[in-house]
């Protein structure tokens, strides 16, 4: 297995307005994307990777100016890796409304000449998929070999199979859910309240004030982060270890840092608040809350998936309490009800929801084996 | 079963300084308390009830001026109830540093003539128990029939059995834990960050500014509240119900309220932020984090409990993911290791951590049966 080496982000502008599920529209927009590997002659080997909350189009490889800039799924995508870029033409795309170059709240609103801020429309997973579909068209890809994602990325992959059933042969949904639970929504809403009530948020128009609601973002990220880790893994890694146990084994009796876990979470929160956009955080958590493909079918997921044509790989992780295996099994059941061909892997991994981003031989091998099958089909198709 | 009817809070002043575990001291302090029932001639029927994070000395009964002011454990304590005030003399006491009348951060610091604010010392569960012990002495109670509490209150009961082994015959620890996990600490620290970074917190001295860090307190409470409810119970009660589903079944596409669960949690957060003190919230969460009686025994809970003399009732709730049954079983195991007499009840209840405050026949009956036994012993003692 090698590394992809240096990769280069690209951008594509779409001048046609995009009508959104809310009824609003975006007059024009830009999407950032990256591609790895080579599109074959019959364009049958394209794979689309959809990202989760805080990731981007930079899925794999590194940037020439920064050797530490490995993509967020670099352990999964590359030459000889589970998603083998010697075989597949892989596309990573930054979603609309995100903060890594695609059009978002920090960009200029053509209607006002000022940053969108609070005026940037709320989006749904369906809106993202509609925008991604236009990118695919412009790249000349009529049908993906696979659309794949983890967590919120998995929701996009599932939505592809519903909205564009003929435009993907395989749908790979990892550590995801057919809809958020009340508890999931609750955590998202607390995170939003932390941002919305930060005085530096300025009703979403903080750009003009030259500030960033860092405290709110920090708290939001700390909350989120707790839900990404498993209880057991947190106990194992941090337990009740004190921050400076080597120096003194005493409690500090102030509101500084006593425990390692506090130090870790505050650091994660601070780091996040330095690079992530508050409006993006808000709109992505709303897209998560709104995701519910069964909704227009009276809550019947089987009906919602009746029009799908793809084959499916669904994977979950035993210690994921954010989107537990039970939630993945609901998707599997609805697919089985529809007599779709579905492979389900429930992977015994200690790392909670975050497991979908981490190196784990069983996990990587499940995905590898599935892509071997996809590759076999591509080869057969080419030979035919 | 009747109601206690009207009850009256009392206060007691302690002029002697209290040396705290941090090394600091409180020069003098007042404790608010209430008593229900009658202390018998040999003073063998006294029960101390310890409160959790947001409760007070007002355990049972109502106040004459407010018929809706039932105490926080009124379903448990009263004439003919599980803790029968026709039999027992029950004491509720508000802890030092709390915000319901006992000396706390909002009171005048005798050293400065201004509110303590940030200068109020951090406290531990052991400090609370030491302060409660002085109250017991002044009330002439040499030995409690039982000391009892849920959650943080259970930690105080357990600490009584360690610090004053001869001063209680029974120790009742409900929905508690021998120490917080990394995840528990993480949730507490996020809540604290929300308060500490609220500009209205003013480093703890907000009293002088005539403001209250309501936004921070609200977020803190929302986080806490999520951990008090079970995932299943939240799904059952709220699911994905929309707030105004009768009017319109559409998403709002703004950051107002879409889902019932958002409405419920924000309401709980707002209500809490109107009556609870931010400094009290901070210091109580630190007392929770610091609680770890095994710490000075190299983490060996069995050793920490070796000096106890009481008999124990330990109870937990199956859906409590804040302090899960597993944590109660650790206490049980350490007591069994010490050949203490211990009764353990794991109650199948859907309501998560909050179950310890709620009406549930199985739960109430377990406690009732245990108090019947205590009463039998009291009667035998009196007859002897």
pLDDT (tens digit per residue) in A115-146: 999 999 999 999 999 999 999 999 999 999 99
pLDDT in tens, B162-200: 999 999 999 999 999 999 999 999 999 999 999 999 999
Determine the Cα–Cα distance for residues A166 and B225; give it in Å rounded to an integer.
45
Confidence at B252, pLDDT banded by 50, 70, 90: very high
DSSP B52: -
Rounded to an integer, the average pLDDT of A41-56 is 96
**Which SS3 state, helix, strand or coil, does residue B354 take?**
helix
Q: How far is A176 from chain B (nearest CA, A)?
A: 17
Rounded to an integer, the average pLDDT of A21-37 is 96
Indicate if the pLDDT at residue A29 is higher than 80.
yes
Q: Who among B187, B237, B269 is closest to A226 (CB)?
A: B187
Confidence at B258, pLDDT banded by 50, 70, 90: very high
Indicate if the pLDDT at residue A270 is higher than 90.
yes
Indicate if the pLDDT at residue B2 is higher than 80.
no
Which of A161-170, A371-380, B51-60, B178-187 has the lowest average pLDDT? Answer: A371-380
Indicate if the pLDDT at residue B381 is higher than 80.
no
Rounded to an integer, the average pLDDT of A306-327 is 98
Q: Which residues of A touch B219 (CB under 8 A)?
A: 190, 193-194, 197, 219
Q: Which residues of A touch B182 (CB under 8 A)?
A: 234-235, 237-240, 259, 261
Say what percent of chain B tops pLDDT 70.
Answer: 99
Determine the Cα–Cα distance for residues A276 and A225; give it in Å rounded to an integer.
14
Give A323: exposed, middle or buried? Use CB within 10 Å, 0-12, 13-18, 19+: buried
pLDDT the model gives residue B220 = 98
pLDDT the model gives residue A383 = 75
pLDDT the model gives residue A2 = 74
Listed residue (B211, B21, B275, B53) closest to B131, CA to CA: B21
Q: How far is B183 from chain A (nearest CA, A)?
A: 6
pLDDT in tens, B161-172: 999 999 999 999
Contact yes or no for B34/B59 (Cβ under 8 A): yes
pLDDT the model gives residue B106 = 97
Determine the Cα–Cα distance for residues A332 and A342; give it in Å rounded to an integer.
7
Confidence at B379, pLDDT banded by 50, 70, 90: confident
* Subunit contact B226:A186, Cβ cutoff 8 A: yes
Determine the Cα–Cα distance for residues B50 and B41; give it in Å rounded to an integer.
24
B159's CB contacts (< 8 A; 6+ apart) are: B125, B126, B128, B129, B291, B293
* Subunit contact B262:A197, Cβ cutoff 8 A: no
Determine the Cα–Cα distance for residues A325 and A148; give it in Å rounded to an integer.
18
pLDDT the model gives residue B5 = 87
**Which SS3 state, helix, strand or coil, does residue B175 take?**
coil
Annotated binding-site residue numbers of B for substrate: 221, 354
pLDDT the model gives residue A165 = 98
* Subunit contact B238:A182, Cβ cutoff 8 A: yes
Indicate if the pLDDT at residue B245 is higher than 90.
no
Q: Catalytic residue at B151?
A: yes
Mean pLDDT of chain A: 96
Indicate if the pLDDT at residue B1 is higher than 80.
no
Determine the Cα–Cα distance for residues B263 and B193; give it in Å rounded to an integer.
23
Determine the Cα–Cα distance for residues A192 and A208; give it in Å rounded to an integer.
21
Determine the Cα–Cα distance for residues A193 and A212; give it in Å rounded to an integer.
15
Rounded to an integer, the average pLDDT of B328-353 is 97
SS3 letters across chain A: CCCCCECCCEEEEECCCEECCCCCEECCEEEEEEEECCCCCCCCCEEEEECCCCCCCCCCCEECCECCCCCCCCCCEECCCCEECCCCEEEEECCCCCCCCCCCCCCECCCCCCECHHHCCCCCHHHHHHHHHHHHHHCCCCCEEEEEEECHHHHHHHHHHHHCHHHEEEEEEECCCCCCCHHHHHHHHHHHHHHHCCHHHHHHCHHHHCCCCHHHHHHHHHHHHHHHCCHHHHHHHCCCCECCCCCCCCCCCCCCCCEHHHHHHHHHHHHHHHHCCHHHHHHHHHHHHHCCCCHHHCCCHHHHCCCCCCEEEEEEECCCCCCCHHHHHHHHHHHHHCCCCEEEEEECCCCHHHHHHCCCHHHHHHHHHHHHHHHHHHHHHHHC
Q: How far is A223 from chain B (nearest CA, A)?
A: 7
Determine the Cα–Cα distance for residues A52 and A58; give it in Å rounded to an integer.
12
Q: Catalytic residue at B209?
A: no
Rounded to an integer, the average pLDDT of B111-128 is 96
Rounded to an integer, the average pLDDT of A246-262 is 89
pLDDT the model gives residue A16 = 95
Determine the Cα–Cα distance for residues A275 and B328; give it in Å rounded to an integer.
42
Rounded to an integer, the average pLDDT of B227-256 is 90
B382: enclosing H helix or E strand: helix B361-383
pLDDT in tens, B57-116: 999 999 999 999 999 999 999 999 999 999 999 999 999 999 999 999 999 999 999 999
pLDDT the model gives residue A69 = 95
Q: Which residues of A touch B258 (CB under 8 A)?
A: 289-290
Contact yes or no for B357/B72 (Cβ under 8 A): yes
pTM exceeds cut of 0.90: yes
* Subunit contact B240:A290, Cβ cutoff 8 A: no
Rounded to an integer, the average pLDDT of B272-296 is 97
pLDDT the model gives residue B249 = 72
Determine the Cα–Cα distance for residues A289 and A122; give it in Å rounded to an integer.
12
pLDDT the model gives residue B3 = 81
Q: Which residues of B touch A178 (CB under 8 A)?
A: none
Determine the Cα–Cα distance for residues B384 and A272; give it in Å rounded to an integer.
69
**Which SS3 state, helix, strand or coil, does residue B228 take?**
helix
């Amino acid at each position: 297995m090698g590394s992809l080496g240096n990769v280069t982000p690209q951008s594509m502008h779409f001048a046609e307005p995009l009508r959104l599920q809310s009824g609003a529209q975006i007059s024009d927009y830009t999407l950032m994307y990256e591609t790895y590997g080579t599109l074959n002659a019959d364009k049958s080997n394209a794979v689309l990777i959809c990202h989760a909350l805080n990731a981007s189009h930079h899925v794999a490889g590194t940037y020439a100016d920064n050797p530490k800039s490995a993509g967020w799924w670099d352990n999964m995508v590359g030459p000889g890796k589970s998603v083998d870029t010697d075989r597949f033409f892989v596309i990573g795309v930054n979603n609309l409304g995100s903060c890594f170059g695609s059009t978002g709240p920090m960009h200029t609103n053509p209607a006002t000449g000022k940053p969108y801020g609070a005026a940037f429309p709320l989006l749904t997973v369906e809106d993202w998929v509609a925008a991604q579909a236009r990118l695919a068209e412009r790249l000349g890809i009529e049908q993906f070999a696979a659309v794949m994602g983890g967590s919120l990325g998995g929701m996009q992959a599932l939505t592809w199979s519903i909205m564009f059933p003929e435009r993907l042969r395989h749908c790979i949904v990892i550590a995801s859910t057919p809809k958020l639970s009340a508890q999931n929504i609750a955590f998202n809403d607390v995170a939003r309240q932390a941002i919305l009530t930060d005085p530096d948020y300025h009703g979403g128009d903080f750009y003009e004030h030259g500030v960033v609601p860092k405290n709110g973002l920090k708290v939001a990220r700390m909350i989120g982060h707790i839900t990404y880790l498993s209880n057991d893994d947190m106990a194992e890694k941090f337990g009740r270890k004190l921050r400076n146990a080597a120096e003194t084994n005493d409690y500090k009796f102030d509101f500084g840092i006593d425990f390692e876990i506090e130090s870790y979470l505050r650091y994660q929160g601070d780091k996040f608040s330095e690079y992530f956009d508050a409006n993006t955080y808000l709109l992505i958590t709303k897209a998560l809350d709104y995701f519910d493909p069964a909704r227009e079918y009276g809550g019947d997921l089987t009906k919602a998936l009746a029009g799908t044509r793809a084959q499916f790989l669904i994977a979950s992780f035993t210690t994921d309490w954010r989107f537990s295996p039970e939630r993945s099994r609901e998707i599997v059941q609805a697919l089985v009800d529809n007599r779709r061909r579905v492979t389900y892997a429930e992977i015994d991994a200690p790392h909670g929801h975050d497991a979908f981003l981490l190196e784990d031989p069983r996990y990587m091998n499940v995905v590898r084996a599935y892509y071997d099958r996809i590759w076999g089909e591509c080869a057969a198709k080419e030979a035919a």
